Amino acid sequence: MSNKYRSGKSSICKVVFHDMQPLDTLYLESTTKPTTENFKSLIDLAVMELPGQLNLFEPSLYDSEKLFSSIGALVYVIDSQDEYLSALQNLAVIIKYACSVNSKLHIEVLIHKIDGLSEDFRLETQRDIMQRVGDDLLDYGLDGVQISFYLTSIFDHSIYEAFSRIVQKLIYELPALENLLDLLMQYSTLDKVFLFDVNSKIYVATDSSPVDMQTYEVCAEFIDVTIDLDGLYENSGQEADGTVRSQPTRCVSKLQSGSVLYLHQMIRGLALVAVMRLEDENDANALAVIDHNVLVFKKSLEKLWERARIK
Ligand SMILES: Nc1nc2c(ncn2[C@@H]2O[C@H](COP(=O)(O)OP(=O)(O)OP(=O)(O)O)[C@@H](O)[C@H]2O)c(=O)[nH]1
């Protein structure tokens, strides 16, 4: 993650990966040194923050070639509430260099702090930024470079949505995962299914139907409720030989609207969360089928992970 001073990089890391309350980021001090944090999810993720006050191309600070050739995605944060022209020029220079050392790099631009802009102004700002970045790249002869833009804020779910999409680009097995989730939907009559990283609430995969932000929010909040409830109860069983084995967390909850939320713990800190509608009289049967299919999905996920590890 890179960009200017006070654009919001540390806040994003704290809110997404450390569950910090957005308002508490007001008191974060400016980062003075590059930092790296490692997270284990479906993939091992290293998030590196490059402080805005340091020059990326200063040889005594960074080995730029090594840095850019070792990363999978560059996330550039632009403060949409501040004057951003110099940030855009800086971005063009970074892209020019990054593309020369790593042609596979995903370039992701967060147009951040959009909570302070009106709905119309958000889209106008996005259009302006995309246009300017496009023109700058054209000047460098880099018009074929693919860049993704996201409107984000730490005060709503947009930052999780953006990070979900960014992390998904780094998962080599994503098409296979999406296929498995589509099959699960088809055979279990689910309306929507997500594979969540429980700690960050990033979804590492979902089925191929469009993501609706409200459904995402309900599912993410259901994870918190389940974890709180799970802490209250003993979640382990004794085997015949006396060993105590903890059971994977599973939770089903019916909302007033009639929708049913379903959560089943998977491997590597992941949970499968689904939304569905059940006819009352068939609840138990339908849930038994879903449980069975989810266990089949979990086994496939384990195999996928084993194979990915061997590669
Ligand atoms: N309104 C609004 N403020 C934000 C948002 N994200 C971060 N901020 C605020 O922006 C200020 C700077 O955030 P930091 O996370 O310290 O910025 P940084 O890019 O890490 O800054 P350096 O460490 O100096 O490079 C803080 O006061 C945050 O509360 C956002 O989405 N909306």
For 256-300, how does the pLDDT look when each residue is reduced to its tens digit (9 = 90+)? 787 889 999 888 888 999 998 877 666 777 888 889 999 999 998
Q: Answer positive or negative: Cα dihedral of 43, 163, 56, 7.
A: negative
28, 78, 151: residue to mutate for ligand 1 pocket, most atoms within 8 A of CB: 28
> Whole-model pTM?
0.85
What is the ipTM, given to two decimal places? Answer: 0.95
Burial profile 78-108: b = 16 or more Cβ within 10 angstroms, e = fewer: bbbeeebeebbebbbebbbebbeebeebbbb
Lining residues, ligand 1, CB within 6 Å: 5-11, 25-26, 28, 30-31, 51-53, 112-113, 115-116, 153-155
What is the Å distance from ligand 1's center to 271 Cα? Answer: 30
Is residue 57 very low, low, confident or very high in pLDDT (cuts 50, 70, 90)? low
State the closest ligand 1 atom to the C-alpha of 29, by its place in the atom list counted from 1. 16
Could you tell me which of 194, 148, 193, 153 has the C-alpha nearest to residue 170? 148
201 or 31: whose pLDDT is higher? 201
Query: Looking at ligand 1, which residue's alpha carbon is closest to its atom 7?
Result: 8
Beta strand pairing call for 192-197 and 147-151: unpaired
Separation CA 219–CA 176 (nearest Å): 22
Token look-up 């060993």 returns: 243
5, 9, 11: residue to mutate for ligand 1 pocket, most atoms within 8 A of CB: 11
Both tokens assigned to 299 = 């086994």
State the closest ligand 1 atom to the C-alpha of 22, by its place in the atom list counted from 1. 29
Separation CA 91–CA 4 (nearest Å): 10
Token look-up 């302006």 returns: 128
